[in-house]
Amino acid sequence: MSESAPPGPLVLVIEDDPQIRRFLRTSLPANGYHIIEAATAFDGLRLMGLQHPDLVILDLGLPDIDGLELTRQLRAWTTTPIIVLSARDQERDKIAALDAGADDYLTKPFGIGELLARLRVAQRHALRAAQGSNDPLFTLGNIRVDLVRRQVFVGEDEVHLTPIEYKLLTLLAKNAGRVVTQRQLLQEVWGPNYTSENHYLRIYMSQLRHKLEADPARPRYLITEPGVGYRLKTE
């Protein structure tokens, strides 16, 4: 549609509330994004096919198709990062959308700072996936993970991790900055039969914090997203 490729990333906002769209229409271009808007899921799908945006911001409470269903439909044919917006009482939908392939979520009300951070992470992740990056070294603050030698260092000291702890850490590192749901973690680390054994996950996350964090009760990196999952904080 556009004659020349826009200089910044193109964001498709699928949101029925005109004031939120208005706020995003003002704030996102000011931060270097271009924006196209859809008030319904139907319009969203249409624009998705026509304009191939780089990022999607999707409200879960749409009037025609619910956001979860739309996420599934989109994931059937595109890997474009999706960030879902949810109200406080939509916990279940939020998790379901994430498990269905959404990249991240934001709970309303949210500040522009949080939204930009989510967009940056999603972009970076999409970029890495596209380039097939396999950097053998992952660094976060004073934590270094050598993915080739399977060694973890805090400062200069090597920390011994169990195989499960190591798997958990690398999985979070691979998704650095993004939320990973409990279900995704359990399925990847323990296997498909363990997707409801949440307490296993919590015990190992706790052990990991004790090994990596200065104060496990006030983690700086291994952040809990209550009720949803975990996030390796990068910023």
Partner 1 sequence: MMGILQGERLKTLLERAWGSSSGAPLPPREDDAAWPGRERLLVAVSASPLSARLIRAAQRMAEGLNAEWMAVCVETPQYARLSESARARLTQNLNLAEQLGGKTVILSAANASGEILAYARAQQVSKIIVGKPIHPRWRDLFFGSFVDELVRHSGDIDIYIIHGEGETSFVPAARALQSPWQDYALAAALIGLCTLLAALMHTRFLPGSISMVYLLGIVLAAALYGRGPALLAALLAVALFDYFFVPPYRSFNVTNSEYALTSLVMVIVGWTVNTLARRIRYQVEAARQRERRTAALYDMTRELAATQSSATLARIAARHIGALFEAQVALLLPDDNGSLCAAHQPVPPIENDVAAYVYAQGRPAGQHTAARQAARLTYLPLRTAAGATVGVLGVLPAQPQRFASPEQMHLLETFTAQITLALERAHLAAEAESTRVQIESERLRSTLLSSISHDLRTPLASMTGAASTLLQEQIDAAARRELATIVYEEANRLNRLVANLLDMTRLESGVRLHKEWYPLEEIVGATINRLEPQLQNRPLTTALADDLPPVRVDSLLIEQVLVNLLENAAKYTPAGTPIRLSAWAAEEVTVEVADQGPGLPPGTEEKIFDKFFRALPTAAGGIGLGLTICRAIIEAHGGRIWALNRAEGGAAFRFTLPYEPPPEIQVEDV
Applying CB under 8 A, which residues contact partner 1? Answer: 88-89, 91, 109, 111, 162-164, 198-200, 202-203, 205-206, 209, 215-219, 223-227
CB of 203 to partner 1, least distance (A): 6
Measured from the CB atom, is 42 or 190 closer to partner 1? 190
Measured from the CB atom, is 31 or 224 closer to partner 1? 224
CB of 150 to partner 1, least distance (A): 14
Measured from the CB atom, is 70 or 169 closer to partner 1? 169
Q: Who's near 16: CB < 8 A, 6+ residues apart?
A: 39, 40, 59, 61, 62, 63
Tokens of 98: 């994430």
CB of 192 to partner 1, least distance (A): 17
Q: What Cα–Cα distance (Å) separates residue 96 from each residue in 7, 149, 171, 229?
A: 34, 36, 20, 12
CB of 13 to partner 1, least distance (A): 21
Measured from the CB atom, is 91 or 146 closer to partner 1? 91
DSSP 9: P
Number of other residues whose CB lies within 10 A of the CB of residue 147: 16
Cis bond before residue 216 (omega within 30° of 0):
no
Handedness of CA 112, 117, 118, 119 (dihedral sign): positive
